[in-house]
Amino acid sequence: MSTLVRDEAETCTRRVRLTPYKMMDKVMIIELHNYIFTVHLAAISVQLVLLGLIPATTANPEPRLLFVFGDSYADGGNLPPGSVSAWHAPYGMFRPGKPVGRFSDGFVATNILAEALQMPSPTPFRVVLQNASISGGVNFAVGGSGVTHAFGAPPFQIQVVWFASMVLAGLFTPEDLNRALVFVSVVGNDYAAYNGSSLEGYFPLTHEVPLLIDLNLRTLYSLGARNFIVSSISALDCLPTATASSGFMECEKNATVDAVIAAHNHHLGNRLENITRNLENSSVLYLQQTRSMHYVLNHLPEFNLTEGLKPCCVGVCGSVDVTGNPLYTVCENPERHFFWDGIHPTEAGWRAVVELYKRPRFTRFARSLSAWVDSLRP
């Protein structure tokens, strides 16, 4: 990723840090969001112009584009090579056989969802900046990101700025944008980065995070996007980082975590419903990721899985000691494990989760993923 993008990310991170102890006034959050968007847009636009990318044509209708925003569950390789564990073995061992910056043994949620939609996986923005093809869409998601402070990666707001710069450069037609699908995965980094112990500390975030997701979706709508697929939060109580203390035998029993999950999903659902009611021609599919992950973990044989809570890669996955010896162990059959490392599912795990989106009960605002797609205008 270019120095320009890294510098913007660092600047933005300093400016958007929200206190978890007292919720910011709604007007303050909106003004901050608009300030970030305005300040950073011009610089990225200049970078795209210098690359000489050619605007899309307006010939016969093309296949739908897929635009992706969010975190490591969706990141297709936007962090700089070598900078994080996903660029080191054993990541990517199943597909493509080497690390490519995806936080899994193979595909992540974006790739599996694209397959289910019968669409190509979108090009990571880092590669687009090297003048790669954007014919299938663009993946702007960055591992470690959120909408507030998270872990210092470019947050959702900055990812939207990157997208806006491409729109304003004329790289997509209004018809492209109206027909495109937008996938958003903001599923827990804001809460993990806070790492508090009391509900009083977390509770303001369960309002702030859905609000900022809402604001970014509305910005995307103002840029021409109409069709949004948004994930609920991850099953934080069942991540290997939470189950390690029990020897990966059971999901964590923590009233605070349960309350955070419920509050986040509830507030986000209300905001998404408001968007569907008040933004003309908008369409939203709310993926019930929390429920889907819990279901898979409780019905492993149904998905040809044998290991639910214990990750395939145990230890400091992707790291080695000073002599080059790995600080982790890797299972022999990742295709049988739901989790790859302490946070991320395997490709097989993601396939199981996305399979549930094709069934009733695991999506909101439409009966299933396919029913939602069928409801969209051609």
The proportion of the chain whose per-residue pLDDT surpasses 70, expressed as a percent, equals 84
Q: pTM here?
A: 0.87
pLDDT band at 4 (very low <50, low <70, confident <90, very high): very low
Residues 243, 253: Cα–Cα separation, whole Å: 9
pLDDT in tens, 188-229: 999 999 877 778 889 999 999 999 999 999 999 999 999 999
- Would you state the torsion angle of the CA atoms of residues 150, 151, 153, 156, taken in this order, to the nearest 10 degrees? -10
Helix (H) or strand (E) holding 133: none
Give the pLDDT of residue 13.
36
Give the pLDDT of residue 377.
86
Helix (H) or strand (E) holding 70: strand 66-70
pLDDT in tens, 24-63: 455 545 544 554 455 455 455 545 554 555 444 444 457 8
Helix (H, G, I), strand (E, B) or coil at 362: coil
Mean pLDDT of 140-145: 97
The one catalytic residue in 72, 104, 232, 292 is 72
- 3-state helix vs strand vs coil in the chain, percent to 5: 45, 10, 45
Length of the chain: 378
Contact yes or no for 65/176 (Cβ under 8 A): yes
Give the pLDDT of residue 199.
81
The one catalytic residue in 33, 149, 264, 344 is 344
Is the confidence at residue 12, as pLDDT, over 70?
Answer: no
Q: What is the largest CA-CA distance in the chain?
A: 60
pLDDT band at 109 (very low <50, low <70, confident <90, very high): very high
Q: Is 368 annotated in the active site?
A: no
CA 290 vs. chain centroid, Å, equals 14
Q: Is 232 annotated in the active site?
A: no
What is the b/e burial string over 64-90, where b = at least 16 CB atoms within 10 angstroms of the residue's CB?
A: bbbbbbbbbbbbbbbbeeeebbbbbeb
Average model confidence (pLDDT) across the chain: 88
Structure tokens at 296: 């898979």
Question: Cα angle at 283 between 70 and 287, to 5 degrees?
Answer: 50
Structure tokens at 289: 């990721």
* Of 200 and 181, the one with more pLDDT: 181
The one catalytic residue in 176, 190, 214, 341 is 341
Task: With both helix axes pointing from N to C terminus, report the angle between 205-222 and 26-51 in degrees, rounded to the nearest 10.
Answer: 40
Give the pLDDT of residue 378.
85
Q: Is 72 annotated in the active site?
A: yes
What residues form DSSP beta bridges with 307? Answer: 337
> Quick one: which of 88, 109, 110, 107 has its CA closest to 98?
88
- Amino acid identity for residue 226 in this structure: R
Is the confidence at residue 20, as pLDDT, over 50?
Answer: no
The proportion of the chain whose per-residue pLDDT surpasses 90, expressed as a percent, equals 78
Mean pLDDT of 344-352: 98
Structure tokens at 190: 């804001």
Task: With both helix axes pointing from N to C terminus, report the angle between 347-357 and 109-116 in degrees, rounded to the nearest 10.
Answer: 40
DSSP 8-state assignment for residue 36: H
Show the domains of the chain with their CATH numbers: 3-53+64-234+251-294+347-375 (3.40.50)
Residue linked to tokens 């021609």: 281
Give the pLDDT of residue 188.
96
pLDDT in tens, 74-95: 999 999 999 999 999 999 999 9
